[in-house]
């Protein structure tokens, strides 16, 4: 690899190494292998969401009986499984090459979107009770879903904003030109 100087005075090789280290550090911060491979946090959230749907009255039955909510919950199950399988693909590539690839960015992006969708759906199922937070007498599940909803916004920023992750995927996975 040539070591031409960039406009900042750094060699291209050192710029590549810095990007690689930053990507690895971002992956370390956001996607521990045990979390993404088993997806327990998402699975636990889906279990809690399913329980909420079974216990919440809606349209003469429960939210779990409502086709709209059933479809949305099923879609979340599909997305969690897709995230888990992509994590295995990334782990396999890392084990083969010894270098983590951009799959961590994809996993982090997927996880942030799933987490937001999951908490938004929970608040939708709660209906009018969704405005009640921790400490409110009639808050569903002690206001845990409201906290999770607010926290899900922070998750989409931790370890790199979704826009940064999309740029990484566009450049390194799809081979698109860098945005300037």
pTM: 0.72
Closest residue by Cα to residue 48 from 146, 118, 136: 118
Q: What residues make up the domain containing 50?
A: 31-170
Return the higher-pLDDT residue of 70 and 4.
Answer: 70
Cα–Cα dist 34/129, whole Å: 34
Is position 25 within any domain?
Answer: no
Is position 7 within any domain?
Answer: no
Closest residue by Cα to residue 49 from 27, 75, 18, 10: 75
pLDDT tens per residue across span 115-161: 999 999 999 999 999 999 888 999 999 999 999 999 998 888 876 77
Angle at 160 between CA 159 and CA 165, to 5 degrees: 125
Is position 166 within any domain?
Answer: yes
Please report which helix (H) or strand (E) contains residue 159, including its range: none
Number of domains in the chain: 1
Is position 20 within any domain?
Answer: no
- CATH number for the domain spanning 35: value is 1.20.140.10
pLDDT tens per residue across span 11-66: 555 555 445 544 544 444 444 444 444 455 777 889 999 999 999 999 899 999 99
Residue 141 phi, psi dihedral angles, 5° rounding: 55, 35
Is position 9 within any domain?
Answer: no
- Which residues partner with 166 through β-bridges? none
Question: Which of these ranges, 5-19, 71-85, 158-172, has the smallest mean pLDDT?
Answer: 5-19
Residue 160 phi, psi dihedral angles, 5° rounding: 120, 130
- Which range among 15-19, 89-93, 170-174 has the greatest average pLDDT? 89-93
């Amino acid at each position: 690899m040539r070591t031409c100087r960039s406009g900042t005075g750094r060699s291209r090789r050192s710029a590549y190494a810095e990007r690689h280290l930053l990507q690895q550090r971002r992956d370390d911060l956001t996607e521990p292998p045990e979390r993404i491979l088993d997806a327990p946090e998402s699975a636990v959230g889906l279990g809690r969401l399913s329980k909420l749907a079974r216990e919440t009255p809606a349209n003469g039955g429960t939210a779990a009986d409502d086709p709209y909510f059933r479809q949305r919950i099923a879609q979340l199950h599909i997305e969690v499984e897709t995230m888990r399988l992509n994590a295995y693909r990334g782990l396999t590539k890392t084990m083969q090459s010894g270098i983590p690839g951009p799959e961590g960015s994809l996993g982090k992006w997927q996880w942030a979107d799933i987490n937001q969708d999951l908490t938004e759906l929970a608040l939708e199922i709660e209906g009018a009770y969704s405005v009640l937070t921790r400490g409110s007498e009639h808050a569903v599940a002690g206001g845990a879903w409201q906290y999770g909803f607010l926290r899900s916004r922070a998750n989409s920023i931790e370890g790199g904003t979704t826009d940064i992750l999309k740029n990484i995927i566009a450049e390194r996975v799809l081979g698109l030109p860098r945005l300037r």
